[in-house]
Amino acid sequence: MSEILRIENLHKSFDDLEVLKGIDLTVQSGETVVILGSSGSGKSTMLRCVNFMESPTNGKIYLNGDLIGTERNGKMTYKEAELCTLRSRIGMVFQHFNLFPHMTVLENVLEGQVIVLGRAKMEARDKAMAQLERVGLAEKAFEYPSRLSGGQKQRVAIARALAMDPEVMLFDEVTSALDPELVGEVLKTMRQLAEEGMTMLCVTHELGFAYHVANRVLFLNEGIILEQGEPQSILKNPDTNRMREFLDGHSLFKLPD
């Protein structure tokens, strides 16, 4: 296994509010990392700093060994073009899908490939169909998003991200907006991706997913990684009271013995 993503001393403030207070994390290629933490602990902010949806206040991010940005007098500076390229190398899936409503499913999956990567139409089309196949929605290629269920929308959003051949995938509570009976199909798709060797950072409250799929679980608390470890041990025997309280709050979750 080789390192694919490294986060060093990541800080992020919104005005006076310091949300991330020094995050260090190295992710190996093919790893699935689940990030847990209570509301407001900075999980989304952390993910969004990785692909520069937010710019970090401080710290460094390396993707596949490349330092993102240029260091000048101890401060990182970023060019917008560089960040666009970086974002095209990292897939992101949102809680509310954010599919493009005026485009068919297929066009949604084509858009980034053609506009951002400049792929030829035919190649992009083959790629798009392959990704839709992968998430089990090839037969919906010519539907508009409004005609899909939430679970299907989310799988299209995953296909849209996958079509860019991302080096890392970020998932931010992607099942939180779904009806309970639709959560399973999305988690299954994610599990399949993890098993195929995709590198994934997932913010989720699905502890079952964390337990069965993650290679590593992080517990984020007040802007720092309070604990991390293998899911089997950390979810059963957390070191800190804070994490134990957090896990107790998820009373529906029964750990398999």
C-alpha of 198 from chain center: 11
**Does 41 engage in binding with Mg ion (CB under 5 A)?**
no
Tell which one of 43, 119, 155, 160 touches other proteins (CB under 8 A). Answer: 160
Tracing tokens 């508009």 back to the chain, one arrives at 144
Q: Give the nearest distance from C-beta 251 to ligand ATP in angstroms.
A: 18
**Does 177 engage in binding with other proteins (CB under 8 A)?**
no
**Does 88 engage in binding with other proteins (CB under 8 A)?**
yes
Sheet holding 17-28, edge to edge: 17-28, 3-14, 58-63, 66-67
**Does 44 engage in binding with Mg ion (CB under 5 A)?**
yes
Do 113 and 120 form a contact (C-beta atoms < 8 A)?
no
**Does 96 engage in binding with other proteins (CB under 8 A)?**
yes
> How many Å apart are CA 32 and CA 217, to the nearest integer?
9
Q: Give the nearest distance from C-beta 150 to other proteins in angstroms.
A: 14
Burial class (CB in 10 A: 0-12, 13-18, 19+), 122: exposed
**Does 43 engage in binding with ligand ATP (CB under 6 A)?**
yes
Q: What is the dihedral of CA 116, 178, 134, 98, to 10 degrees?
A: -10
**Does 73 engage in binding with ligand ATP (CB under 6 A)?**
no
Query: Which is nearer to other proteins, 17 or 81 (by Cβ)?
Result: 81
**Does 231 engage in binding with ligand ATP (CB under 6 A)?**
no
**Does 152 engage in binding with ligand ATP (CB under 6 A)?**
no
Query: Which is nearer to ligand ATP, 43 or 134 (by Cβ)?
Result: 43
Tell which one of 32, 41, 131, 221 touches ligand ATP (CB under 6 A). Answer: 41
Stretch that binds ligand ATP, among 12-20, 26-34, 211-219, 232-240 (CB under 6 A): 12-20
Do 150 and 177 form a contact (C-beta atoms < 8 A)?
yes
Stretch that binds ligand ATP, among 37-45, 75-83, 119-127, 210-218 (CB under 6 A): 37-45
Tell which one of 25, 31, 33, 45 touches ligand ATP (CB under 6 A). Answer: 45
**Does 204 engage in binding with ligand ATP (CB under 6 A)?**
no
Kindly tell me the sign of the dihedral angle through the C-alpha atoms of 123, 169, 12, 44. positive
**Does 19 engage in binding with ligand ATP (CB under 6 A)?**
yes
**Does 175 engage in binding with Mg ion (CB under 5 A)?**
no
Query: Which is nearer to ligand ATP, 71 or 245 (by Cβ)?
Result: 245
In which region does residue 5 sit, left (phi positive, over 0), alpha (psi from -120 to 50) or beta (all else)? Answer: beta
Residue 84 binds which of ligand ATP, Mg ion, other proteins, none (CB < 5-8 A, kind-dependent): other proteins
Burial class (CB in 10 A: 0-12, 13-18, 19+), 227: middle
Judged by the rule CB under 6 A, the positions of this chain that interact with ligand ATP are: 14, 17, 19, 37, 39-45
